[in-house]
Amino acid sequence: MLYSRTKGGTARVKIINVVGARPNFMKMAPIIDAMNRYPKQIRHLLIHTGQHYDEKMSKAFFDDLGMPKPDIDLGIGSGSQAEQTGKIMIAFERVCLTERPDLVIVVGDVNSTMACTITAKKLGIKVAHVEAGLRSRDMSMPEEINRLCTDVLCDHLYTTDRIANENLRKEGVAEDKIHFVGNVMIDTLLKHKQMASQLDLRQALGLESDGYATLTLHRPSNVDDRQVLQGIFEALREISSDLPVVFPIHPRTRKMVSEFNLGHYFNENKPVAGIWLTEPLGYLEFLHLNMQAKMVLTDSGGLQEETTVLGVPCLTMRNNTERPITCEMGTNVMVGNQPSEILTQAKKVLSGESKPSRIPEKWDGHAAERIVGHILETCCTWQTGDEARI
């Protein structure tokens, strides 16, 4: 494999870090921070595939997380699953042939994760997957297919919990590929928690601490069927008669709300009551609101983890989760997308019947340090003489 040499004769491993969508930014930011502590050993590039790209929101996330501007932006944009994956592979192959990295690091489970893994492996480049081993066992989810394909190919599998370790073992993954490091999403949360708490957004919106809920909703199973989406909104409207619901709406969901003529469920004014629709929020703004919410309603993956650490009740509007640790130890309750169960569990929270929460092992803010430590320990042999190898 290739490497670059410093003046003292020490080699630097060359790493490409890949992000494709906003949740990837939160996972990659602490890894980049950890790598920056070893400039003599690691040279790294940040590649943004542009799989999901909104200039205003992407800039807000990069600014909030203190991430550097991407070294290369592939600008792929939207498209069908196959079209998007193919475009990413073509563009990323050119990057790999030009930059010739020693290691590619992918995070999460978006199309960019799988596409860049396949591309790098076909070029003989080692790949590490951060957040490996998560499984929903739901093959109707594109993310589950991405996770399975990525994990079977990668050389280093960095897991968030011991359930993920067992998933990989049952799939026949060699033990020496599995590395339990903890959760980089929680690294980001713990680093920015105090900064987020100092914002004045809640007060500016007229919200009382513990006096509102936050909502995210974007998965096709919830928003692409008019009957399902309307049923969810009916349940949310009933909840919002007791507790204002702040809804930073995802562009996909906004499009479907318009197509299905469901805009009458929302209040576009300050959330004295009802479901209050806002534009998407930056990372710090949304963390600020979630930290002080009575509950979070979501179909997201990452929020299940964040609410577990924050100790905020989380109702996940899905029938399965790739993060069962958040139900076993955390505040997460799976409620599906039927109005009756959403209402039943929301009323339990409103009456003070929230489940207790414990912090999973190694969700301590140091996962990225463990990842980079492993890379330095096992991927590189440093010598001051003639040789350095990956």
Q: What CA dihedral angle connects 253, 265, 282 and 364, to 10 degrees? A: -90
In angstroms, rounded to a whole number, what is the distance separating the alpha carbons of residues 325 and 335?
16
* Nearest residue to 23 (alpha-carbon basis) of 107, 97, 128, 88: 107
Helices 367-374 + 22-35 axis angle, to 10? 60
- One DSSP character per residue, 259-303 reads HTT-GGGEE-S--SSSEEEEPPPPHHHHHHHHHT-SEEEE--SHH
Q: Which amino acid is at 343?
A: L
Cα separation, 185 vs 23, whole angstroms: 9
Work out whether the CA dihedral 139, 325, 248, 79 comes out positive or negative.
negative
> Of these residues, 218, 288, 366, 374, which one is catalytic?
218
Q: Say which amino acid occupies 233.
A: F
Burial 51-77 (b: 16+ CB within 10 A, else e): bbbeeebbebbbebbebeebebebebe
Widest distance between CA atoms in the chain: 71
Decide: 70 and 17 in contact? Cβ < 8 Å: no
Question: Catalytic residue at 366?
Answer: no
- Identify residue 74 by its one-letter amino acid code: L
Would you say 30 and 183 are in contact if contact means Cβ atoms under 8 Å apart? no
Mind giving me the DSSP string for 353-364? -PPP--PPTT-S
3-state SS, residue 65: helix
Instruction: Tell me if 326 sits within 8 A of 314, measured CB to CB.
Output: yes
Q: So which residues are the catalytic ones?
A: 218
